[in-house]
Amino acid sequence: MNDVQAAERDQGIAMRERMAMYTDNALKIGLFGSNCSSGRAVTLISDRWSGNWEDNLALAQMADSAGLEFILPVGRWKGYGGDTDYMGTSLETITWATGLLAHTKRLIAFGTVHAPLFHPIIAAKQMVTADQISEGRFGLNIVVGWNEDEFQMFGVTQREHDARYDYAQDWIDAVKTAWTAPDDVDFDGQFVKLKKIRAKPKPFGGTRPLIMNAGASDVGRAFAIRNCDAFFTQASRRSMEETAERVKAAKADAKSQGRELDVYTVGVVTCRRTKKEAEEYYRYAMIENGDWSAVDGILVKKNISPATVGQEEFLAQRQHYINGMGGLLMVGDPDQIADTLANLSRAGVRGVGFSFINYLNELPFFCDEVLPRLERMGIRAKRKS
């Protein structure tokens, strides 16, 4: 084996370690949405998530010592209005991740980056800085954006849907060029044209940050399969078999392009000692005290109305969006939550990013009760201290 082959082999191993998020656990667990006020729960209750730095830091450190694998922020620039101005306070995600990485030991922190709003070379260097600080624990969630008034705030015109992914392709290629190329390479994309790129240092350990994307359209899904290590997709609300089919299809599509791909999903967890307690709390926080005016604002932005989708689907979507854009709803006792997570793992899902109504209040019970059950089921290894 010559030096180049050895380097490629080492990079392959190191990249696989990044994809495994540095643990042997079959199911990776992460927290989603804590960088924004209210997190993903569109609720009026006074206990709703603050989203402030102090709480985010305490949460990340708690997740880190419990052995959770990742923390994933939402890239949001403006609130959605309503009585709470849902997500109106948000910590910018690359700087948020960098701060958390400096204060944790094992956790992967993602930045959620809007490709059309960040210059690729600046973003590449910011991400490398986070990656260096954390010795390889930074991850990139690349998003193309959809929220028109956010783009207007930047003075940027949104492209038509599919063209957003054409631009994102240029953007990610430019970022990868900055991460790997020697000095003074030009980048000549369809949209992005760069002369004599110099970007040093490179990402930690001769590899690159884990890249994820959650495109749901055909074009978005194809982009994820072509470019990402982790594809976030919705779990079926109908059956685990359907989820297993989705996972299998995405992995097969990646394989046909010579790529390895892990499939992740998102969820919303309310876990209490009994099923009844969990359901009561969920009903109190998310139904009786939902910030329905914010939900209605989100639906308008998404052009979801009785006129566009029909009354029945509109009401279903309204219910779905009260959990901050959805995800698999898991409300129950520790056995039920552990069973659902184990079934996702058996369906081939590599990991789940979920939210709580109040992350800091609810994570300790989850770690004390659900994680040991997953360990006993063989879905996760015993935690190292």
Ligand X SMILES: Cc1cc2nc3c(=O)[nH]c(=O)nc-3n(C[C@H](O)[C@H](O)[C@H](O)COP(=O)(O)O)c2cc1C
Least spacing, CB of residue 56 vs ligand X, in Å: 15
Nearer to ligand X, 266 or 357 (CB): 266
Cα(44)–Cα(83) distance, integer angstroms: 8
Contact 54, 336 (CB under 8 A): no
87 CB neighbour count, 10 Å cutoff: 26
For CA atoms 147, 152, 155, 156, give the dihedral sign: positive
Nearer to ligand X, 166 or 277 (CB): 166
| Nearest residue relative to ligand X (C-beta) | 220
Cα(105)–Cα(63) distance, integer angstroms: 11
Contact 324, 41 (CB under 8 A): yes
Least spacing, CB of residue 10 vs ligand X, in Å: 31
Least spacing, CB of residue 72 vs ligand X, in Å: 7
Nearer to ligand X, 116 or 120 (CB): 116
Nearer to ligand X, 72 or 192 (CB): 72
Cα(134)–Cα(256) distance, integer angstroms: 33
Q: Using CB under 6 A as the criterion, which residues of the chain lie in contact with ligand X when the complex forms? A: 74-75, 112, 143-146, 214-217, 220, 232, 266, 353
Nearer to ligand X, 112 or 243 (CB): 112
SS3 83: coil
Least spacing, CB of residue 123 vs ligand X, in Å: 15
Nearer to ligand X, 143 or 374 (CB): 143
Bond prior to 116 in cis (omega within 30° of 0): no
Cα(223)–Cα(163) distance, integer angstroms: 11
Least spacing, CB of residue 162 vs ligand X, in Å: 9
Alpha helix (H) residue ranges in the chain: 3-19, 53-66, 93-102, 120-133, 148-154, 161-180, 218-227, 240-256, 275-282, 292-301, 306-309, 311-321, 334-346, 359-376
Least spacing, CB of residue 207 vs ligand X, in Å: 23
